[in-house]
Amino acid sequence: MSSFHLAEDSESNLLERRWFAADRAAAEIQSECDALARALDLTHTALRDARARFSHLEALRDALGDELAAIEQRAPQRPSQPVRRSAA
C-alpha cells in the first residue's frame, strides 16, 4: 500500500471519528432540549393553574368584602362609650 492511501485512510478515519463525536454531542444536546421543553410545558401548566386559582380567590375576596361592607352598613351605629380611666 502506498503512503498516499495510508494518509487518505488516516484522514478519512479522523473525519469519521469527528463526525461520530459531533453526532453524539448533537444527540446529547437534543436530549437536553427535550427535557427542558418538558419542564417548560410543566411550568406553563402550573402557571396557568396558579393564575386561575388566584383569579378565583380574588373574586371570592371581593365578594366577601362586599358582603362585609353591606353588613356593616345595615348594622345600627352604636355610640362610642367614653373610656373609663382609673384614678390610681
Which amino acid is it at 4? F
60 has pLDDT over 80: yes
pTM attached to this predicted model: 0.58
Rg of the Cα atoms in the chain: 37
Instruction: Grade residue 83 by pLDDT with cuts at 50, 70 and 90.
Output: low
Average pLDDT, integer, range 72-81 = 78
Give helix then strand counts, H and E, for the chain: 1, 0
Instruction: Grade residue 87 by pLDDT with cuts at 50, 70 and 90.
Output: low
Helix, strand, coil shares of the chain, percent, nearest 5, are 80, 0, 20
35 has pLDDT over 90: yes
**Per-residue confidence (pLDDT) for residue 75, from 0 to 100:** 83
**Per-residue confidence (pLDDT) for residue 58, from 0 to 100:** 98
**Per-residue confidence (pLDDT) for residue 36, from 0 to 100:** 98
